[in-house]
Amino acid sequence: AVLARDRAHDAVDAPRSDYRRAEAALDDAAHVAIARIVASFDGTNDGFMDHVEHAFAVTEQLLTELNRWARDFLAAVLDVVIAAVMLYLEAVALAVVLIALAVVLVAMLALAIAVLAIVMALVVGALLSLLAALVAGTVMYDLTERLGIEGLAQIELVLAAACAVCPLLAVTLVTRIADEAGKPPPTVSRLQAHDAKDPAALKELDSALPTNAGDVLAWAGLVDQVGGEDRAVVDIAKVTHEDGSVAWIVTVPSTQDWVFGGDKGASNDLDADLVLHLFPWLRTQYERGVLEAMAQAGIPQDEPVLLSGWSLGGIGGGRLIESHEGGYRYEGLICAGSPIDHMAIPRDVNVLQVKHTMDVVHRADLIDGHPDTAHHMSVWDGPRSGGAAPFQASPMGAHSNAAYVETLRANTLVDDSASYLFSDFYAIDDPATAAVPHVEHVQYEFSE
């Protein structure tokens, strides 16, 4: 039974083993088939993906190129837009600047017009005020003439009437008078040659000899050249005659500083003109300087003194003689273009005035001419000279020392009686004597 059972088991195991082998073979065959099928599909799948990947690569490249083109295009467009915007902004800025400039120019123009209007109003007002002063002065002059008032009193009344209607004139006079009155006495010293503004004029002055009135008057022009605007120069000439007697010629300067205020140094300025002419009771630096120069020169009070000057120089000389300042022995005055006819100069003092028809300066005392006397003579140009001297037609040229010297010399060639008044001061050699006259010039200077 056991054997039969074992044989039965063996008989069953053999087919079972065959089945299992067949099943394994079938399974292997299936695996092989499946592997081949998969391999076949795998080959097919690899080609398709390549195409897909290629398509994606082309698409990516296209997109990249499109992106690059878009960037470049947009950058170019952006540059153009930025340039356009900048141009627009610059145009706007320029327009703003131009508008601002136009506004400023309009404002400046408006301001200039306003200032011009104010200036014109002030000028017109000043001119009207001065015109009113002229009318008032003329009316007062006519009234004083009718009343027989003359001299300094007449000048003061005319000036007062003018100032009453012209405050500008009044203020100007008051300020200038106060300024001149407040100035200290000048420091006077010998002029050093290197300080001369015109060395040639100084050399000519030092060697000059007084032989006639024309020579003496010419010195007035030389002292102006030597001093100029920086300093007032006074020339003092000591004339020693052949008999040993001594005479002195003092030449004083004319106006050299023509500006009110802001003086440059010379005391012979418009302030001195104003005060000497209108307010002789005030002592100016100019007068004090001349007197100090005479004192330093050692002029004795018992020796004759001749004063000479033109314009302001004549006024200053006339005032010294009129007031007898310094106590000197004043015996004569030679002047030109100077308003001195109203001064109370002693009748025994010899006075020679040179006047030009077209010069208004010597008429500042409201007197056109002074009647000639034995000691007071006037010589003129043109018709009033009797044909002796040429007519000085130009008002500016008429007020010139050189022109006045020419007029004086021309007159003395015809008639030297006026020049003869001062013969005691001339250095004229007398051939009948062994001695010769001697002239020594010394210059003094002072400034403000």
Give per-residue pLDDT as tens, 84-130: 888 888 899 999 999 999 999 999 999 999 999 999 998 898 889 88
**Could you tell me if 291 and 234 are in contact, meaning their C-beta atoms sit under 8 angstroms apart?**
no
Question: Residues in the chain, how many?
Answer: 448
User: Nearest 5°: phi and psi at 250?
Assistant: -110, 115
The confidence band for 423, taking pLDDT boundaries of 50, 70 and 90, is: very high
Q: Percent of the chain beyond pLDDT 90?
A: 56
Chain segment 384-403, per-residue pLDDT in tens = 999 999 999 898 889 999 99
Concatenated DSSP letters of 253-294: ----B-SSSS--SBSSBHHHHHHHHH-TTSPPHHHHHHHHHH
pLDDT tens track for 17-67: 655 665 666 666 656 666 665 555 555 555 566 666 777 777 778 778 777
Strands 438-446 vs 189-190: parallel, antiparallel or unpaired: antiparallel
- Name which residue leads in pLDDT, 281 or 155: 155
Instruction: Give the predicted TM-score (pTM) of the model.
Output: 0.73
SS (H, E, C) 133-176: HHHHHHHHHHHHHHHCCCCHHHHHHHHHHHHHHCHHHHHHHHHH
| Inter-CA distances, 99 with 93, 102, 104, 111, Å | 10, 5, 9, 18
User: How does pLDDT run across 142-182, given as a tens digit for each residue?
Assistant: 999 999 998 888 988 998 999 999 988 888 888 888 888 78
Is residue 258 over pLDDT 70? no
Mean pLDDT of 226-242: 95
